[in-house]
Amino acid sequence: MTLRLAIVLPTLDERENIAPLLTRIAEAMGPEGWEAIVVDDASADGTADEARRLARNDLRVRVIERIGRRGLASAAIEGICATAAPFVAVMDADHQHDPALLPAMLAALESGACEVAVASRYVAGASAEGLASTRRERGSRLAVRLARRLAGVDLSDPMSGYFALRTDTARALAPRMSQIGFKVLLDLLASAPRPLRVREFPLHFAERRSGVSKLDRAVAFDFLVGLYDKTFGSVVPTRFALFGTVGGLGVLVHLAVLAALYRVGGAAFIPAQALATFAAMTFNFWFNNWLTYRDRRLRGVRALLRGWAGFCAACAVGAVANVAVAGLLEGYGLHWLLAAGAGILVGAVWNYALSSRFVWKRR
């Protein structure tokens, strides 16, 4: 039978969910005409090994294991570009998305009734009971209202992670996408040169079957990052803007420490400036690891200590220039606040370029 649909399953620590999900997909789609592509971000629990074990006995299952790369959006695009099927669906592997919707979504696409089929939590007949809390549901609905403006499509759930479309359409849009964060559908719709025709299907958003949700507080920033990228990303690169934002917060940390030591504690300016610089670097490393380089986040005590040491080392030249310039200007009578600001500015370029390359391994 001809291959009709590829189901892309981005995974991170979903070992226990893969086999039962493939069983549910087979029950919904039948024995032929589909394939499942597991795109795994080097899960620590052996998700990729489990998927490979299943693939040895089921030719409908394929595996892409990514090393040194993370992020749901980029994983979805890699899976989409790896299939020869004319239609592709993206869904979570945690069982919150019901595979029973796949045949109806595929039929709507094949008939030309729509260009994108979206499983929605908010249309008539749907439910969002699987959301972890009332607060998360309220936040999701607020994000939906903002996302409609960005996508230019009247959708009840543009933040849905469960959708399907023609594969060639997705491939054509991929170079225009930011591929940042979790909102793949929103990225696709906002990247289209014209509004795409969309049809929504009611989804009963279920509880996660096994494992722990990958959503943390940084995901809220993903949405804001997506808004920024589509609005200003062509002017100032998004990651640099994030790094600069973290750096701005680091300036406040720097000045607070400097004021406490120099103005309140009575310490000499140069030692106070040096300690303030060290405190700001430590803060910047932690926040950049959590937000700016979220897709390459360092985890575990050893990796964090090594990364922190590498960050400090990579920024050493900038830090020395920071302290030297600030001390020189303050010695010539410039106000301490302006002198500190000049020192911070001199070190900023080094901090970004070297830490990106040597700490988070991004060229």
- Over residues 16-29, the pLDDT tens digits come to 999 999 999 999 99
DSSP codes of every residue in 168-233:
HHHHHHGGG----SS-HHHHHHHHSSSPPPEEEEE-B----SSS-----THHHHHHHHHHHHHHHT
What's the whole-number average pLDDT of the chain? 83
Residues 6+ apart with CB under 8 A from 160: 118, 119, 120, 121, 185, 203
Of the segments 72-76, 143-147, 294-298, which one has the largest average pLDDT value? 72-76
Q: In the prediction, which pLDDT does 134 show?
A: 54
- Over residues 34-61, the pLDDT tens digits come to 999 999 998 889 999 999 999 999 999 9
DSSP H or E stretch at residue 239: helix 238-258
Q: What tokens does 170 get?
A: 């997705």
Determine what percent of the chain is predicted with pLDDT higher than 90.
38
Q: In the prediction, which pLDDT does 212 show?
A: 57
Q: In the prediction, which pLDDT does 257 show?
A: 93
Q: What tokens does 53 get?
A: 């074990």
pLDDT band at 108 (very low <50, low <70, confident <90, very high): very high
DSSP H or E stretch at residue 51: helix 47-56
pLDDT band at 129 (very low <50, low <70, confident <90, very high): low
Domain ranges within the chain, ordered by starting residue? 5-212, 238-358
Burial track 254-285 (b if 16+ CB lie within 10 A, e otherwise): bbebbbebbeeeeeebeebbbbbbbbbbebbb
Give the whole-angstrom CA distance, residue 100 versus residue 274: 61
Q: What tokens does 99 get?
A: 């595979």
- Over residues 63-92, the pLDDT tens digits come to 999 987 777 888 999 999 999 999 999 999
**Residues 200-224, mean pLDDT to the nearest whole number:** 66
Q: In the prediction, which pLDDT does 49 show?
A: 95
Burial of 138 by CB count in 10 Å (0-12 exposed, 13-18 middle, 19+ buried)?
exposed
Fold adopted by 5-212: Spore Coat Polysaccharide Biosynthesis Protein SpsA; Chain A (3.90.550)
pLDDT at residue 167 tops 90: yes
Of the segments 161-170, 176-185, 232-241, 317-326, which one has the largest average pLDDT value? 161-170
Give the whole-angstrom CA distance, residue 39 versus residue 23: 18
